[in-house]
């Protein structure tokens, strides 16, 4: 090869590498927008940053003059994940077609699943970046809680900011029986389950010396922030997730599992009365969700609706909410049935739990177990809140899914070498 050709080749490689770094930077900005501007009201950049990352990826591969390698399983997964809501919208327009209708805005979250393909193409693991950003979120929760405790006069200003941007909500939540919780609820605080799981994995790999203590401190940071956010889901996950990870992933299994179980039972004994208060079916929020079950029972008693759903984004009059006419409730998995029908809901649910099934039953050599446990807890939190089919939930699923398929590819190559 001539010197000129070598210089030209190095320049081309350098440009391609520069574009790869630009894609990663755009994705980090996208993460920041998802975590700190979830409603897209503050700067309104989420969609543009996502499209920018895809455009730069496409341009990079055009520049290289080759097609990227893609896992066929990931292509199939993403296609089905998007096809189900598209068919649901088509069903709505074929059987109803009236306004108001929220299907197209809701479809954006499903299209976000293509992020998994982008991450796979570029071989980018966004988990460390997401975890670092969630550390900042945890500091914001703790810092704002401390500031408001010291200067409560700032409550109205923070409430106004939260109502305008959809970023943070302040509450004095009275659960009855003397249990009152001050909440500094950042809307994206449930995502801290992922940072707890990620840093537990880091701690397990380096559970000695400075790195071990650093990762333990970061686990504590996220757990404390979830507690101060104050919702029942956050409180439960902040305590139970670390204990579960300890139980499942400890090196000294017997001793550590006994310790985790003992600590769990101690917490139940000490906090049992408070837990019962938080779970009281007569508490306002609990009572509302239970009343919604009656609405769903009546709605899904229609065989056509049960089989085919009403369509993604269809409005319904909810008696439990005083005949409020709206397109969404907090009961995420019943919403799947209402939107897509029983068959479509089953398909979507299987897609949601696929990373869990794959890591724990199919590919037990995967290194993603701890993070997938965090994802499983996030799915559990979404049982009674609508955070799954949003930029938050889809971002977590896309990152976890991309990592699962990238790990699968690496292991497959390793197995082929072993067979040879």
Q: What is the pLDDT of residues 347-361, one digit of tens each?
A: 999 999 999 999 988
d(CA 149, CA 79): 48
d(CA 396, CA 38): 13
d(CA 253, CA 250): 5
What is the pLDDT, as a whole number, of residue 278?
A: 59
Secondary structure element (H or E) that encloses residue 125, with its range? none
Among the listed residues 178, 220, 230, the one whose alpha carbon sits nearest the alpha carbon of residue 199: 220
∠ CA 278-282-284, nearest 5°, is: 80
What is the pLDDT, as a whole number, of residue 260?
A: 67
Strands (DSSP E) along 94-204, which ranges? Answer: 168-174, 180-186
Provide the mean pLDDT of the chain.
85
Count the residues in the chain: 420
What is the pLDDT, as a whole number, of residue 415?
A: 38
Query: 253-278 vs 232-249: helix axis angle to the nearest 10?
Result: 170
Parallel/antiparallel/unpaired status of strands 180-186 and 168-174: antiparallel
SS3 for 80?
helix
**152 to 155, 161, 182, 367: CA distances (angstroms):** 6, 15, 12, 45
Exposed / middle / buried, residue 243 (Cβ in 10 Å: 0-12, 13-18, 19+): middle
Radius of gyration for the chain, computed over Cα atoms and rounded to the nearest angstrom: 23
Walk along the chain (420 residues) and give the pLDDT tens digit of each residue: 443 333 333 444 445 577 788 999 999 999 999 999 999 999 999 999 999 999 999 888 888 777 788 889 999 999 999 999 999 999 999 998 889 999 999 999 999 999 999 999 999 999 999 999 999 999 999 999 999 999 989 999 999 999 899 999 887 766 655 566 678 899 999 999 999 999 999 988 876 778 888 999 999 999 999 999 878 888 889 989 998 898 887 666 666 666 666 666 666 665 555 565 556 666 667 778 888 898 999 999 999 999 999 999 999 999 888 888 999 998 999 999 999 999 999 999 999 999 999 998 887 777 788 999 999 999 999 998 888 999 899 999 999 999 999 886 654 444 334 434
* Residue 134 near residue 395 (C-beta atoms within 8 A): no
Exposed / middle / buried, residue 115 (Cβ in 10 Å: 0-12, 13-18, 19+): buried
Instruction: Using a cut of 0.85, tell me whether the model's pTM lies above it.
Output: yes
Q: Is the peptide bond before 258 cis (omega within 30 degrees of 0)?
A: no
Both tokens assigned to 43: 């700067």
Measure the N-to-C terminal CA separation of the chain; round to a whole number of Å.
33
∠ CA 83-85-89, nearest 5°, is: 115
What is the pLDDT, as a whole number, of residue 320?
A: 82
């Amino acid at each position: 090869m001539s010197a000129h050709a070598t210089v030209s080749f190095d320049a081309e490689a350098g440009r391609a590498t520069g574009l790869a770094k630009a894609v990663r930077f755009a994705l980090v900005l996208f993460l920041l927008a998802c975590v700190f501007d979830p409603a897209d009201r503050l700067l309104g950049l989420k969609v543009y940053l996502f499209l920018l990352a895809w455009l730069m990826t496409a341009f990079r591969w055009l520049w290289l003059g080759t097609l990227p390698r893609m896992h066929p399983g990931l292509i199939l997964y993403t296609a089905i994940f998007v096809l189900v809501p598209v068919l649901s919208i088509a069903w709505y327009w074929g059987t109803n077609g009236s306004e108001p209708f929220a299907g197209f805005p809701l479809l954006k979250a499903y299209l976000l699943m293509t992020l998994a393909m982008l991450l796979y193409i570029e071989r980018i693991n966004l988990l460390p970046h997401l975890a670092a950003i969630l550390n900042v979120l945890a500091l914001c929760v703790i810092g704002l809680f401390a500031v408001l405790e010291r200067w409560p006069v700032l409550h109205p200003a923070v409430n106004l900011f939260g109502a305008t941007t959809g970023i943070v909500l302040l509450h004095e939540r009275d659960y009855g029986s003397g249990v009152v919780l001050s909440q500094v609820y950042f809307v994206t605080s449930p995502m801290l389950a992922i940072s707890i799981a990620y840093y537990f994995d880091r701690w397990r790999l380096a559970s000695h010396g400075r790195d071990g203590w650093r990762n333990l401190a970061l686990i504590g940071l996220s757990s404390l922030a979830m507690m101060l956010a104050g919702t029942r889901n956050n409180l439960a996950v902040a305590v139970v997730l670390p204990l579960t990870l300890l139980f499942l992933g400890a090196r000294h299994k017997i001793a550590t599992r006994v310790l985790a179980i003992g600590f769990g039972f101690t917490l139940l004994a000490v906090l049992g009365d408070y837990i019962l208060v938080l779970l009281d079916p007569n508490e306002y929020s609990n009572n509302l969700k239970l009343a919604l079950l009656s609405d769903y029972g009546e709605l899904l008693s229609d065989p056509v609706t049960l089989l085919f759903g009403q369509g993604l984004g269809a409005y319904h009059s909810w008696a439990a909410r005083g005949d409020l006419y709206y397109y969404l409730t907090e009961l995420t998995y019943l919403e799947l049935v209402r939107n897509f029908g029983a068959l479509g809901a089953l398909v979507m649910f299987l897609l949601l739990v696929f990373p869990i099934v794959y890591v724990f039953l199919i590919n037990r050599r995967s290194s993603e177990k701890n993070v997938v446990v965090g994802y499983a807890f996030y799915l559990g939190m979404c049982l009674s809140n609508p955070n799954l089919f949003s930029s938050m939930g889809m971002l977590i699923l896309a990152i976890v899914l991309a990592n699962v398929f990238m790990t699968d590819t690496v292991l497959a190559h390793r197995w082929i070498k072993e067979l040879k």
